[in-house]
Structure 1
């Protein structure tokens, strides 16, 4: 089978509250930043690092980290990973999904080439009982996932037709009559 993975976070009741919208927009910014660097010749690892820079910056701005985003991004720290514990991408194709046996040089350290298709799916997740975040953040989880085709000179978002921004998602829900 050829899998496709597309994820959107939908607000309960059809409308994002201010905090939900802020979290959603941060995740969208992380995804957009990662998509923007996709082109032949970069490494798969760079896609993840780019998204994580945004996640670290946003969680630092919100006061959730014990230091700066730059400090958190150091390999020995990674404080922002408390709120995004998964990778940013995985390849798509014939039965491909996070192959644990893949060699590093072919996967995370692999060079992106035209014709590759993979997801970009950053997220932010705040557990109900997480006392490291203000109460209004607790229980919010947002992942935005799109399928990306590497072209000769960049990337094409294959799932761009599915609503992505908070306003588009709210409109989508409103149109569905829910």
Structure 2
């Protein structure tokens, strides 16, 4: 990873971890599916502000009228897996975004940041970089299970894997 790639990767990993934490909190309180996305977006907006990329504060970007961070995170953080997938036009809000997390639900957590090479709002070193971290998640009675936990996830794990040292995990 270059220094900028590492910053971007770490921001996306932090957003993913925040989404996991929101989902796992379902054991303490009812958690709506949309809250998983909101947890990740709080981190994304905060990191973009720290990078000096957002033209407004993170708080303003997160407001319903703002959403400037969506320029670089253009999709939702999660979609259900199974027969009723994210691209099903028949998915009703009460069964999807407004649904309460329940044991047995399986969905993705996949935040990302994508910086186009021709985006003049960005410092040059950010242009042309993009990261998405995607995990599959099972909601359990006592939290969430990362079904893709055996894949490299941290920068150190990825670098070791790329260098052929996956056994060092």
What's the TM-score, normalizing by structure 1? 0.87
Say which of 45, 69, 83 aligns to 1:80. 69
Work out the CA distance in 1 between the residues paired with 2:160 and 2:86: 32
Tell me the alpha carbon deviations over residues 74-121 of structure 1, each in whole angstroms, 9 at most, x when there is no partner: 001100000000000000113623323211011011111001010000
Q: Which residue does the alignment assign to 1:54?
A: 43
In the alignment, is residue 29 of structure 1 matched against residue 18 of structure 2? no
Residue aligned with 2:103, SS:
coil
**Mind listing any 5+ residue stretches in structure 2 that lack a counterpart?**
none
Q: What SS does the aligned partner of 1:105 have?
A: helix
CA RMSD of aligned residues (A): 1.4
State whether structure 2 residue 77 is matched by structure 1 residue 92. no
Structure 1 residue 32, shift from structure 2 partner: 0.4
8 A Cα contact 1:91 1:98, kept in partner:
no
CA distance in 2 between counterparts of 1:46 and 1:103 reads 17
| Alpha-carbon distance in 1 for matches of 2:77, 2:38 | 9
Distance 1:167 1:98 in 2: 34
Stretches of structure 1 lacking an aligned partner (at least 5 in a row): 1-15
More helix by share: 2
CA-CA distance at 1:18 after TM superposition: 0.5
